[in-house]
Structure 1
Amino acid sequence: MKLFCNKKTYSDGGYGWVVVLCAFCIGFITDGISFAFGILLVELLDVFEQGRAPTLAIGAVMSGMMYCIGTGFGLMYLSANVCMMHHFKERQAIANGLAMCGSGAGAFAFNHLTNFLLESFGWRGTLLLTGGIVLNGVVFGLLLLQPTTANEDLLSDPNTAGKLNIKEETGQCSKPLRAIKTFCEQTFKEILFKDISCFIFFVSVFLYSFGRDVPFSLIPDQVTELGMSTTQAAWLISVAGITNTVSRAGFGWIGYRQCIKRMVLLEILTFLLGISTGLSFLFISFETKLLYMSMYGIFTGGYNSLRRIVLADIFGMEMLDKSFGLMMLIIAIADAVSTPSLGWLFDKTGNYNMSFIVTGAVFIFGGILMLIPRIL
Structure 2
Amino acid sequence: MSGSRRKVQYLDRPPDGGWGWMVVFSSFLVHVVVIGSIKSFGVFYAAFREAFDEGAGDTAFINSTLVGVMLICSPIASALSKLTSCRVMVFTGSVLAAAGMIISSFATSVLYLLVSLGLFTGFAMSLIYSPCLTMLGRYFDRRRATANGIGISGNGVGMFALSPLYQVLIDEFSYRGALLIIAGITLHGCICGALLRPIHLREDQEHKAVLDQRKQSIVENSQSSCKTAASKVLHVFDVSLLTHVPFVLYLFSHFGTMIGYSIVFVHIAKHAQNIGVGKTEASFLISVMGIAEFVFRLIGGWFADLGVISRLHVYMIGVAGVGLCNLFVPFCSTYASLVVYMVCYGLFSGVFHALIAVLVREYTGVARLASGIGWDCLVSGVAYLLGAPIAGWLYDATGNYNVSFYSAGAMILASLCVLFFEKCAKHDDPDGETTEDDPPSQDIRKDSIDRTVLEPILTERETTV
Question: In which range does the TM-score fall when normalised by the shorter chain?
Answer: 0.7 to 0.9
Q: Does 1:198 align with 2:247?
A: yes
1:126-160 Cα offsets, whole Å, 9 max, x none, are: 111101100110121122126xx89xxxxxxx98x
1:264-314 Cα offsets, whole Å, 9 max, x none, are: 222222222112201211101001001111010011110010122222223
Cross-structure match for 1:180: 233
CA distance in 1, matches of 2:409, 2:57: 19
Q: Secondary structure at the match of 2:367?
A: helix
1:247-267 Cα offsets, whole Å, 9 max, x none, are: 100011011113321112222
Contact map agreement 1:35 1:213 (CA 8 A) in 2: no
| Greater shift in the superposed pair: 306-315 or 330-339 | 306-315
1:10 to 14, 17, 21: 14
Cross-structure match for 1:168: none
Cross-structure match for 1:23: 27
Amino acid at match of 2:236: F
- In the TM superposition, residue 206 of structure 1 has moved relative to its aligned partner by 0.4
Q: Does 1:97 align with 2:101?
A: no
Contact map agreement 2:137 2:358 (CA 8 A) in 1: no
Q: Does 1:49 align with 2:53?
A: yes
Structure 2 matches for 1:248-259, cutoff 5 A? 248-259=297-308
Q: Secondary structure at the match of 1:37?
A: coil
CA distance in 1, matches of 2:302, 2:349: 16
| Greater shift in the superposed pair: 7-16 or 107-116 | 7-16
1:109 to 144, 150, 161: 161
Amino acid at match of 1:136: H
Q: Does 1:343 align with 2:396?
A: no
1:366 to 401, 415, 432: 415
Cross-structure match for 1:87: 139
Contact map agreement 1:7 1:86 (CA 8 A) in 2: no
Amino acid at match of 1:97: G
Cross-structure match for 1:209: 258
Percent identity over the alignment?
27
Q: Secondary structure at the match of 2:153?
A: helix
1:225 to 265, 268, 274: 274
- Cα gap change, 1:271 to 1:96, in 2 (>3 Å): same
| Greater shift in the superposed pair: 341-350 or 263-272 | 263-272
Q: Secondary structure at the match of 2:277?
A: coil
CA distance in 1, matches of 2:385, 2:28: 25
CA distance in 1, matches of 2:234, 2:355: 31
Q: Secondary structure at the match of 1:363?
A: helix
Q: Secondary structure at the match of 1:275?
A: helix
Give the unaligned 5+ runs of structure 2: 4-8, 78-122, 201-207, 216-226, 426-465
Q: Which has the larger radius of gyration?
A: 2
Amino acid at match of 1:141: G
1:80-133 Cα offsets, whole Å, 9 max, x none, are: 111122111111111101001011111111101101101111100011110110
Contact map agreement 2:140 2:147 (CA 8 A) in 1: yes
Amino acid at match of 2:181: L
Contact map agreement 1:22 1:143 (CA 8 A) in 2: yes
1:61 to 54, 60, 65: 65
Q: Secondary structure at the match of 2:197?
A: coil
Amino acid at match of 1:314: Y
Amino acid at match of 1:206: F
1:153-186 Cα offsets, whole Å, 9 max, x none, are: xxxxx98xx7xx9xxxxxxxx99876334434x4
Q: Secondary structure at the match of 1:309?
A: helix
Root-mean-square deviation over aligned CA pairs = 2.4
Q: Does 1:277 align with 2:326?
A: yes
Q: Does 1:352 align with 2:401?
A: yes
- In the TM superposition, residue 322 of structure 1 has moved relative to its aligned partner by 1.7
Contact map agreement 2:318 2:350 (CA 8 A) in 1: no
Cross-structure match for 1:127: 179
2:42 to 38, 45, 50: 38
Contact map agreement 1:278 1:360 (CA 8 A) in 2: yes
CA distance in 2, matches of 1:44, 1:26: 26
1:322 to 354, 365, 371: 371
1:294 to 343, 355, 363: 343
Q: Secondary structure at the match of 1:317?
A: coil
Cross-structure match for 1:170: none
Q: Secondary structure at the match of 2:16?
A: coil
Contact map agreement 1:53 1:342 (CA 8 A) in 2: yes
Cross-structure match for 2:458: none
Contact map agreement 1:107 1:238 (CA 8 A) in 2: yes
What is the TM-score normalised by the length of structure 1? Answer: 0.87
Amino acid at match of 1:179: K
Counting matched residue pairs gives 349
Q: Secondary structure at the match of 1:72?
A: helix
| Greater shift in the superposed pair: 272-281 or 103-112 | 272-281
CA distance in 2, matches of 1:7, 1:242: 39
Q: Secondary structure at the match of 2:42?
A: helix
- In the TM superposition, residue 52 of structure 1 has moved relative to its aligned partner by 0.8
- Stretches (4+) displaced over 4 A: 6-9, 174-178
- Cα gap change, 1:315 to 1:182, in 2 (>3 Å): closer
